[in-house]
Amino acid sequence: MLCCWKLTLLAEYGIWIIAWCFFALTCGGFIKGALGVGTPLLTVPMMAQVLPTQMAIAIMAIPVVVANIWQFTQAERSTEVVERFWPTFIAILIGTWFGVKILATIDEGTLMFLVGVAVIVFAILQGSRFRLHLPEPIVKPVGVLFGGASGLIGGVSSFFGPMLIIYLISIRGLSKNQFVSSISFLYVSAVVPWTLTLFYFGILDERLLIYSTLATLPVTLGLLLGQRIRSFISEARFRYLIIAILIVSGLSMLWRAAQ
């Protein structure tokens, strides 16, 4: 059955399109393994060069779920992550529900512009001496606010990441490995409902479900390579790379607002 789908995929798109998508998915897995974030942000635009954008988004459904669950379960002291961030996890779910609910009535362009500007400004501040620090006593209550905001914005636009990245890089003393395990845990509360929604509305149909499952292979390959590279990235450089991802996310929001 799987061989038949591979032959169908080859006949429908050709070897060069498949090779490009394999490369794009591997790159997405690599950045996920190295930094814990950025997979759809990199992979979707690359695949959208040769595939319809909606198809490129749908193909990412299974890989992002698998990557985040796998990365979280591989983390050291994962139970501590759950204990520390479960209120944020729940807030994301609730915020996503409200975000999807108001999707039909909100001006997405205005929202994307305002949030995009805020994300870029915050990222620049976090790279300066004026950066925000969250002391441990307020990590959980502030996490509820950021989780709710992430779910709300993600439910409207699919941009779950920026608010979560802002929150985590503001926590005093959070190491690069703790950041990756924490963001993976929090992403699960966003990407699982998102994938189920794609399936419910028929965007992720049987054919794309097979393609999305196959896409897990190059993403996993990149994930394993990226994880090896992470050990060679210093804590300071890791932080600046995350800030760079945040700025790119903000610019993507501004681009979305201009459409």
> Which tens digits make up the pLDDT trace of 4-60?
555 555 556 678 888 999 999 999 999 999 999 888 888 888 888 888 877 888 898
Bigger pLDDT: 232 vs 105 = 232
At 226, the pLDDT band (50, 70, 90 cuts) reads: very high
Q: Helices 176-200 and 235-258, interaxial angle, to 10°?
A: 30
Q: Determine contact, residues 220/32, Cβ cutoff 8 Å.
A: no
Q: How far is CA 10 from the centre of its chain?
A: 28
User: The pTM is what?
Assistant: 0.84
In the prediction, which pLDDT does 205 show? 84
As for how many domains the chain has, the answer is 1
Q: 236 in helix, strand or coil?
A: helix
pLDDT, mean of residues 96-105: 72
Whether the pLDDT of residue 156 is over 90: the answer is no
**pLDDT per residue over 84-96, tens digit each?**
999 999 999 998 8
Half-sphere exposure of 13 (CA within 13 A, CB side): 20
Boundaries of domain holding 150: 2-258
